[in-house]
Amino acid sequence: MHPVPVPPLLRATAVTMDYGGGAVALAGLTVEVPPGSVGLVGANGAGKTTLFRLMLGLMQPSSGALEVTGRNVAADPVGIRSRLGYMPEHDCLPLDQTASDVVATFGELAGLPPRAARQRASDVLDLVGLDEARFRPVGGFSTGMRQRTKLAQALVADPQLVLLDEPTAGLDPVGREDMLELVGRLAGFGISIILATHLLDDVQRVCDHVVMIDRGRLVLAGPIDQLMQTTGVLRVEVGGRAGAVEVVAAALAERGLAARAVDAHSVEVDTREHGEIAFDIVRDTVADNGLRLYALTTRHRSLDDLFLQEAGR
Amino acid sequence: MTTLPPTMPGAVYDRGYRPYDGPRGGRRHATMALWRLSVRRALGLRRSWRQKYFPWSLLAITTVPAIVNVGVGYAIKDDPLELPEFEFFTYREYVGVSTALLLFVALTAPDIVCPDRAQRVLPLLFSRPLTGVDYVVAKVGAMATIVFGFGFLPHVVLFVGQMLVSDGALDYLTDNAEVLWQVPVSVAILALYYAAIGVALASLTDRRIVGGVAILGMALITSAVSGILVQASDGSTALAVVNVLALPLAVRDLVFLGHIGPESGLSGVDGGGVLAVGAYLVVLLSALALLFHRYREVDL
C-alpha cells in the first residue's frame, strides 16, 4: 500500500500582487513549504500581510497561482477559510463581550454548530490558560490575555493551518515566552502554523522551516536546521596571562590558520581550509604557549546572518 | 477485611488538545450564525440589563395601544347603550407606529455594525467563510427581523384580543381575514426598508452616536421638508416623496386600500402609488448598494 502523499502547506507559483500606482507587494513569488511550523520572515512592507490576504482568499493575485493545504485558493476562496485560523497582529476583539462568547462566536462563524462551538471555546480557552478569565469581558484583559484570546479564536474550529501575524508583538518578556511556548505546542496537535514576524529569534525558537521575503521577492526558503549550518569559524577563549589572545593569534598564524582577536579573551579562527584537524592545532598551540584553554566552540550561522547576507543588506 | 488503598497524591491532568471531527457548515451556516449573533446583540441577550432595557421596553410600548384597544372593547362589550364597535385605530394605522420603530433602528442599527469597524473585528469576521454580501445580508436581516417582530407582535395581540372580545370569534376571523396577509406584508415592507436605511447610514461611521443621529436627522429633515412642500401645495404634491421615511407607509396604504391614504402628501397625486413604490425601491436598493460597496473588501 502506498502512503498518501501530504500536500504542501503552501505552494505559490509566480505570484504577483500589484496594487497599482507602482505598489507591488509581491513580485513573482515562487515557493513551496511542507506542513509543520513555518516562519515567514521579512521587514515591514515585505509582503507578509499581502501573502496572508491572498492565502485567505480575500483578494486575487494579479498573476500566478496559490495553493493552501493542497487546495487552489482561486477555485474556492471562501471555502478555504473554513479550515484556516487567523490571528491578526492588531487589536481585533469585541471588547464588551466575554472571552467565552468571543471564542464561541468565531467557532460558530467557522462552521461549528452552536453547542460544539461553546464546548470547544471552553476547551481552547483552557488550553491557552484563560480558563478562569473566560467569563470576563475582553475589554478588561491585559495585552497578554488578549493575545491568548486571539490565539484561542484562531484554534477553536480545529484548523489545519493557523496564520499568526506577529503573535508576540507588544508582549513583555514573560508574556512572549508563554506565547512562544503555546505556539510551539501547536505542531504536536497536528496543526500547521505560518508565523509572520520580523523577529528572527521567534522563528528560530518555534519553527522548523523558514521563508524569507524582502520587498515582495523570495530571499530564501528551507529547513532551518539545514540553513543554520556551521560557518567554519572557531571561537577560542584563552587566558593564563596578559596578552594571551595576541600570543595565540600570532602562533596560529605561523601554523597557517587565519585568526583574529575579537575581544580581550577570545580569538576567532577560520578553519575552512583545514577541517577538523584545526581543533587539534588550536589545542596544541594553546598548550605549547603555556596558556589555558577555556572554551572551543564552532560558530553557527544565525537567521539574522542569513537574512542580511541573502537580502544583500 | 478490606484494606483501603494508599492515599493518592493529587493529580493534575492536562486535557491537551482535542481535534474536532463533527459537522462543519459553510457560507450559509456562517451567515446564519452572524444573523443570530446580531439579533442577540440587538435584543441585549447575553448582555447586561442596561442593554436589555431599551428593546424590551420598546416592545412593551408598541404593544400598549393594542392592549388598550382590546381592553376598552371588552369593557363596553355588554354596554346597554349599545355603543358602536369600539375601534381606537385600524390595523392599517397600527402599522404606522413607525416613530417607535424608527427610534429603535436609530439606537440599534449602529450598535450592530459600528463596533465591528471601530474595534477592527471585520478582519477576523472575514477570515471566516463569509463574504461582504453575507455580512450585509446577516446584519440587515437581523435588523429587519427584529423590526418585523416588534411591528407584528402587537398586531397579533390586537387581532387575537379583538377576536376574543367580539360577539363571535369565528365571525370576526372571517370578517377580517384579509388583514392576515395585509399586516405581515406591510410590516415586512416597513421592516426591510427601515433596516436597510438604518444599517446603511450606520455603516458610514465608526461611532454609534453619529450613526444614530444620522438616522434620526435624516428622518426629521426629510419629514420637515416634505411637510413644507405639501403645505405650500395645498396638501398634495408629488414632491412629498422626499419624505423617505413615509414611503413604506404609502406602500402600506396600497396593500390595505389599493390607493394612497388620505393623510399622505401623495394622496390625490396622479400616479402617486407608482411614484411611491418606485421611490421606495430606489431608496431601498440604494441603501443595499451602499452597504455592498462598503463591505466589498476588508483590510487585514
The predicted-structure confidence for A29-62, as pLDDT tens digits, reads as follows 999 999 999 999 988 888 999 999 999 998 899 9
**pTM across the whole model:** 0.84
User: Residue B16: inside a domain, yes or no?
Assistant: no
Minimum-distance CB partner of A116 among B15, B19, B20: B20
Q: Is the minimum CB–CB distance between B37 and chain A shorter than 8 Å?
A: yes
SS3 call for A64: strand
User: Chain B interface, mutation test: which of A52, A68, A78, most B Cβ atoms within 10 Å?
Assistant: A78
User: Residue B12: inside a domain, yes or no?
Assistant: no
Tens of pLDDT, residues A226-282: 877 667 788 899 988 888 999 999 999 998 888 888 888 899 888 878 878 888 999
User: Residue B131: inside a domain, yes or no?
Assistant: yes
Q: Is the minimum CB–CB distance between A81 and chain B shorter than 8 Å?
A: yes
pLDDT at residue number A99: 96
User: Residue B275: inside a domain, yes or no?
Assistant: yes
Closest residue in chain B to residue A157, using alpha carbons only: B20
CA distance A40 to B167: 78
Q: Which class is A10-227 in CATH?
A: alpha beta
Contacts of A49 in chain B (CB under 8 A): 300
Shortest Cα–Cα distance, B272 to chain A (Å): 45
User: Residue B87: inside a domain, yes or no?
Assistant: yes
Asked whether this complex has an ipTM greater than 0.95, the answer is no
Q: Is the minimum CB–CB distance between A109 and chain B shorter than 8 Å?
A: yes
User: Residue B139: inside a domain, yes or no?
Assistant: yes
DSSP assignment letter at B245 = G
Contacts of A71 in chain B (CB under 8 A): none
Q: Is the minimum CB–CB distance between A111 and chain B shorter than 8 Å?
A: yes
Q: What are the cell numbers at B76? A: 363596553
Contacts of B208 in chain A (CB under 8 A): none
Q: What are the cell numbers at A193? A: 502554523
Minimum-distance CB partner of A92 among B18, B47, B121: B121
> How many separate domains does chain B show?
1
Contacts of B26 in chain A (CB under 8 A): 78-79, 82, 111
CB contact under 8 A, B121 and A189: no
Contacts of B19 in chain A (CB under 8 A): 158, 189-190
∠ CA(B220), CA(B58), CA(B186), 5° rounding?
A: 70
Q: Please tell me the total number of residues recorded for chain A in this structure.
A: 313
CA distance A116 to A120: 6
The b/e string for A244-280 (b: 16+ C-beta within 10 A; e otherwise) is bbebbbebbeeeebebeeeeeebbbbbbeebeeebbe
User: Residue B20: inside a domain, yes or no?
Assistant: no
Which residues constitute the domain of residue B202?
27-294
pLDDT at residue number A260: 87
CA distance A295 to A274: 19
Between A214 and B63, residue with greater pLDDT? A214
CB contact under 8 A, B128 and A53: no
Q: What are the cell numbers at A200? A: 528572527
Q: Is the minimum CB–CB distance between A20 and chain B shorter than 8 Å?
A: no
pLDDT at residue number B1: 46
> What are the residue ranges of CATH 3.30.70 in chain A?
230-310
Q: Is the minimum CB–CB distance between B71 and chain A shorter than 8 Å?
A: no
User: Residue B22: inside a domain, yes or no?
Assistant: no
Q: Is the minimum CB–CB distance between B298 and chain A shorter than 8 Å?
A: yes
CB contact under 8 A, B130 and A78: yes
Residue A78, pLDDT > 50, answer yes
Contacts of A94 in chain B (CB under 8 A): 115-116, 119, 121
CA distance A106 to B124: 8
Contacts of A79 in chain B (CB under 8 A): 26-27, 129
CATH 3.30.70, applies to A230-310: yes
Minimum-distance CB partner of A94 among B18, B121, B130: B121
CB of A131 closer than 8 Å to CB of A125: yes
CA distance A160 to B299: 23
Q: What are the cell numbers at B55? A: 428593546
Q: Is the minimum CB–CB distance between A112 and chain B shorter than 8 Å?
A: yes
Minimum-distance CB partner of B24 among A82, A86, A123: A82
CB of A257 closer than 8 Å to CB of A282: yes
Shortest Cα–Cα distance, A304 to chain B (Å): 27
Q: Is the minimum CB–CB distance between B255 and chain A shorter than 8 Å?
A: no
Q: Is the minimum CB–CB distance between A84 and chain B shorter than 8 Å?
A: yes
- Indicate the residue type of A61: P
> What are the residue ranges of CATH 3.40.50.300 in chain A?
10-227
Q: What are the cell numbers at A249? A: 593569534
Using 70 as the pLDDT threshold, list the residues of chain B that sit under it. Answer: 1-15, 78-88, 96-98, 299-300
CB contact under 8 A, B300 and A59: no
pLDDT at residue number B169: 85
Contacts of A165 in chain B (CB under 8 A): 300
Closest residue in chain B to residue A76, using alpha carbons only: B129
